[in-house]
Structure 1
Amino acid sequence: MITSNFFYLDRYNSSIPAEQIRLVHVVSCVWLSSFSTFPLLFSLLLCLKH
């Protein structure tokens, strides 16, 4: 996915705090899970694997 690649690139960017990247990643996972055909818990488990 494009969003996954975007977060992976930002994760290696030293100018952005790791905590902020994690927060944005979690929020995006929750946002994407709301549009996903999978259950919410399953989507969150996939996000936690990253």
Structure 2
Amino acid sequence: MSHPAVTSTDVIRHAIADQIRRIGGNEEDIDDIAFAASYAVMCWGLSAAQTI
């Protein structure tokens, strides 16, 4: 099984790719945004788990 960060990044990447290309972005832009969004999701998850 893939590492959760890789899986999350792949899911986000596929979800945003068409929109990013439509506004003039390239593959590197898609990767950068997907990685940043995945990192934010993981940080939120860790933070939410600590407040329970």
Taking structure 2 as the reference length, the TM-score comes to 0.45
In terms of fraction of residues, the more helix-rich structure is 2
